[in-house]
Amino acid sequence: MADLQWLGVVRHGQSTGNVLAQAAEAGGLEEIAIPERDADVPLSDLGRAQARAVGQWLADLPGGDRPQVAVVSPYLRTRQTAEIALAGADIPAVLDERLRDRELGVLDLLTTRGVEARLPEEAARRRRLGKFYYRPPGGESWADVLLRLRSLLGDLRGTHPGGRVILFGHEALVLLVRYLMEDLDEASLMEIARATALGNCSVSSWRSDGERLRPERFNDVEHLRRTGGASPTRRDGTPGTGQEDVDADV
């Protein structure tokens, strides 16, 4: 099967859930007071500015490097990021539920402290299994998310051979796309996750060398630094709505 010419993935802009979760963690709370369900968490004002910076980055790309299609998570914060970034660009966008955020089940809306206090058995099981294989009741493991990403990427290779595709998704998905593109193993992925503060509206991409997709950039936020009012924000590592649970010790 022919590969893509170029694949990019953008993490959504800062969400109101990111802001509330960070405040809950900093305040030592057990629960994050987010009123919306995970799929309905919107962008913050800063998140909108970050999405506009992605739009400027896309507009500045040479025509031959510009994505031909965008595939977007159906979650509101991600749809809003794509809508703002793609405004005025001749890049069609399609929603695909396989790009949705990792489902956290019983851990949803709990801080790291909340998981330890309210679900100590789950906290212990998570430590024993590790985040790659740990599946919270009612939720997904990283391995579960990889199954849907493999399916999506296989479809994209079939429908856009030699094409340029950009994904708009969530934090864990960025890392898991890298896992698939670069043939990583569990240990390598966990090392990257521990070492990486994945930015809101960061861009990661891979370009074909004629044989396979090779890394081009990872967690790039230079476009945010160049744009006034769109300062980079890092991930908070908090399990719960709008927080993708990258390195929370749960």
SS3 readout for 180-237: HHCCCCHHHHHHHHHHCCCCCCCEEEEEECCCCEEEEEEEECHHHHCCCCCCCCCCCC
Domain with residue 109: its CATH number is 3.40.50.1240
> For residues 192 and 131, is the Cβ–Cβ distance under 8 A?
no
Average pLDDT of every residue of the chain? 92
Residue 249: predicted pLDDT: 26
Residue 221 has pLDDT above 90, yes or no: yes
Residue 211 has pLDDT above 50, yes or no: yes
Average pLDDT over residues 160-178: 97
| DSSP element (H, E) containing 37 | none
Per-residue pLDDT reduced to its tens digit, 101-111: 999 999 999 99
Percent of the chain past pLDDT 90, that is, above it, reads 88
> For residues 85 and 203, is the Cβ–Cβ distance under 8 A?
no
Q: Which domain holds residue 65?
A: 6-244
Residue 16: predicted pLDDT: 98
Confidence of residue 230 (pLDDT cuts 50, 70, 90): confident
Q: Which residue has the higher pLDDT, 52 or 233?
A: 52
- Provide the 3-class DSSP secondary structure of residue 242: coil
Residue 246 has pLDDT above 50, yes or no: no
Residue 229 has pLDDT above 70, yes or no: no
Neighbours of 194 (CB within 10 A): 10
Sheet order of strands, 93-95 included: 93-95, 69-72, 164-169, 6-11, 203-208, 213-220
Here the tokens at position 156 are 């994209």
Confidence of residue 153 (pLDDT cuts 50, 70, 90): very high
Residues 128-141 as b/e (b if ≥16 CB within 10 A, e otherwise) read eeebbebbbeebbb
62, part of any domain:
yes
Residue 243: predicted pLDDT: 43
Q: Which of 135-144, 198-207, 224-233 has the lowest mean pLDDT?
A: 224-233
Confidence of residue 31 (pLDDT cuts 50, 70, 90): very high
Residue keyed to tokens 């294989």: 133
> For residues 53 and 226, is the Cβ–Cβ distance under 8 A?
yes
249, part of any domain:
no
221, part of any domain:
yes
Confidence of residue 234 (pLDDT cuts 50, 70, 90): low
Half-sphere exposure for 81 (CA within 13 Å, toward CB): 36
81, part of any domain:
yes
Sorted by sequence, the CB contacts under 8 Å of residue 48 that are 6+ apart come out as: 13, 80, 84
Residue 140 has pLDDT above 90, yes or no: yes
Alpha-carbon distance of 183 to 153, in angstroms, equals 14
1, part of any domain:
no
Number of domains in the chain: 1
Average pLDDT over residues 12-21: 97
227, part of any domain:
yes
Residue 31 pairs in a beta bridge with: 110
Q: Whole-prediction pTM value?
A: 0.92
Residue 228: predicted pLDDT: 64
Residue 216 has pLDDT above 80, yes or no: yes
